[in-house]
Structure 1
Amino acid sequence: MRTAQFEIAGIPVGTKEKLLVFAGPCVVENREMLFSTAEGLKKAAETIGFDLIFKASYKKANRSSSGSFTGIGDEAALALLAEVRQTFDLPIVTDIHHPEEAALASKFVDVLQIPAFLCRQTELLEAAGKTGLAVNIKKGQFMAPGDMRLAAEKVAATGNTKILLTERGTSFGYHNLVVDFRGLPQMSALGYPVIFDATHSVQLPSAGQGISSGERQYIQPLARAAVAVGVTGLFFEVHPTPEKALSDSATQLPLSKAEPLLRELQEIFEITKKIQPLI
């Protein structure tokens, strides 16, 4: 099946002409961190030549512990994301968790993201679709790749076919995730652009005494493999100082490492454009 093609703020999606990268910090913590990350990633995108959509959650509704950081306030965080969009001329993606959040967030961003745990929530998917914005649906850790067709159909039923599907690992026993790379072409066969989330895929959910732990050392090899398999794009959470991050500190990519990694992945991407499937 031919992959759907559309645009996000002028960026072609689904053409595979350029590597598409969703990147930014896990959550809006403060203006300084947000802007330094956006500046660094923007520079990398211009230098290397990939398309960048800046990512940050305006709040974190899904945390292991009730004492974990959830955000600086919805309107304050969304206003900062809008400022990043204007200052750096970058499209923005952020998560929503309840149907009523779709209309609010859509005023400030360009892509609405459905968290993995919520990918079957019909009213949430419908509300996101009705905004007319592109919708990135993360595959649940409990979902088979082919079952994402049903999630996408809930958005498409609103008349909005600007849909992306994101792989972020599958539950493998307790406190562990595994990536089955067969799932990438399987989801691509559904007709939607596929993104590989290289940082959430290395999480060890709830393994850190009230927080999620992770294995950052596997970000690079998994991202390499995903690009070689043939995805539309990649998703990274990036932070200037991950050890100080208020969420997902174990798996965010250090900003200083983002450009060299993305340069390498861009080279692999260019090779894949020349390869024709054998079967």
Structure 2
Amino acid sequence: MMTIVKINTISIGNHHPLVFILGPCVIESRDHCMRMAERLKSLSESQKFPFIFKSSFDKANRTSVDSFRGPGLEKGLKILQEVKAQFQIPVLTDIHEPSHAKPAAEVVDVLQIPAFLCRQTDLLVAAGQTGKPVNIKKGQFVSPFDIIHPIRKVESTGNHAILLTERGVSFGYGNLITDARSIPIMQETGYPVIFDATHSAQIPGGTVTGGNRKYIPTTAKAMVAAGCDGIFMEIHDNVNEAKSDRSTQFPLDEFPDLLRKLIELSTLVREKSY
């Protein structure tokens, strides 16, 4: 039996509609964040899909020390609070240290554990102790069978509002692959599974993480067909000028066509599965 995770009015898991977690990789500025939230909310209303806005106040895991990291905890949370208040949408952001959990939980609706930090006990426990839903991104180095260990750390706090995110698996040096078997394997834990379609297209290595955006639609459709409960995508209105992950953020103007296909495919899969 799958746990249905409730985020405001959105129910995730089992027969509920495919949820979309969308937004820019990092808060580049207040104006850009507000503009992206407005446009994505408008799209969610016109296409009638459940939508959670995402963006990061600090990208503490950038490849280079010289890379743009974001506005920081205090200023970033203030911007995300403004997004929530103005657009009345749930918001997700990632935390990198246990001390981030409490202040972030006072603002956002979902706390996200970055893939590289998914084994950090103190971080998982701090997130769980807030009582907020926790999205655990499975590390590229973690088997889908082993995601149970991060789950148990959050569960140890009494928090069972847990989402799991597949974001690709390391395949040798400098490459990620997507294994559709991860979806049903991780769902066997009893929690909904999200597919991160944009980070899965990354090509790690060098001083800047690269990627191949053209494969994002293919892997997204494959994982929806495999039965994932949601899609996570970083969306940008000007990818060539994005301050992070410009090779894998998906262009906003191309997204509606892919969105339509994913919704149609998800509807078909759910009709055949339940």
Aligned residues of 2:145 and 2:185 also touching (Cα < 8 A): yes
1:122-162 deviations in whole A, cap 9, x for unaligned? 01000000000000000010000010011111101100000
Structure 1: how far apart are the matches of 2:32 and 2:168?
27
Q: How does 1:1-279 map to 2 (within 5 A)?
A: 2-206=1-205, 209-276=206-273
Structure 2: how far apart are the matches of 1:43 and 1:199?
21
TM-score if structure 1 supplies the norm length? 0.96
Structure 1: how far apart are the matches of 2:130 and 2:151?
15
Superposed displacement of residue 228, structure 1:
0.7
Aligned residues of 2:211 and 2:247 also touching (Cα < 8 A): yes
Structure 2 letter corresponding to 1:94: T
Aligned residues of 2:5 and 2:163 also touching (Cα < 8 A): no
Aligned residues of 2:5 and 2:192 also touching (Cα < 8 A): no
Aligned residues of 1:166 and 1:197 also touching (Cα < 8 A): yes
Structure 2 letter corresponding to 1:252: Q
Structure 2: how far apart are the matches of 1:81 and 1:258?
23
Structure 2: how far apart are the matches of 1:276 and 1:159?
31
1:218-254 deviations in whole A, cap 9, x for unaligned? 0101100111110110000001101111111110001
| Partner-residue secondary structure (3-state), 1:123 | helix
Aligned residues of 1:33 and 1:240 also touching (Cα < 8 A): no
Structure 2: how far apart are the matches of 1:95 and 1:188?
22
Structure 2: how far apart are the matches of 1:64 and 1:31?
24
Structure 2 letter corresponding to 1:101: H
Superposed displacement of residue 6, structure 1:
2.8
Aligned residues of 2:236 and 2:242 also touching (Cα < 8 A): yes
TM-score if structure 2 supplies the norm length? 0.98
Structure 1: how far apart are the matches of 2:256 and 2:101?
32
| Partner-residue secondary structure (3-state), 1:112 | strand
Superposed displacement of residue 15, structure 1:
3.8
Structure 1: how far apart are the matches of 2:45 and 2:70?
30
| Partner-residue secondary structure (3-state), 1:273 | helix
Structure 1 letter corresponding to 2:85: Q
Unaligned runs of 5+ in 2: none
Aligned residues of 2:12 and 2:18 also touching (Cα < 8 A): no
| Partner-residue secondary structure (3-state), 2:254 | helix
| Partner-residue secondary structure (3-state), 2:232 | strand
Superposed displacement of residue 121, structure 1:
0.5
* Structure 1 ranges of 4+ moved more than 4 A: none
Superposed displacement of residue 48, structure 1:
1.4
How many residue pairs match? The answer is 274
Structure 2: how far apart are the matches of 1:190 and 1:179?
19
Aligned residues of 2:81 and 2:108 also touching (Cα < 8 A): yes
Structure 2: how far apart are the matches of 1:50 and 1:230?
17
Structure 1 letter corresponding to 2:26: V
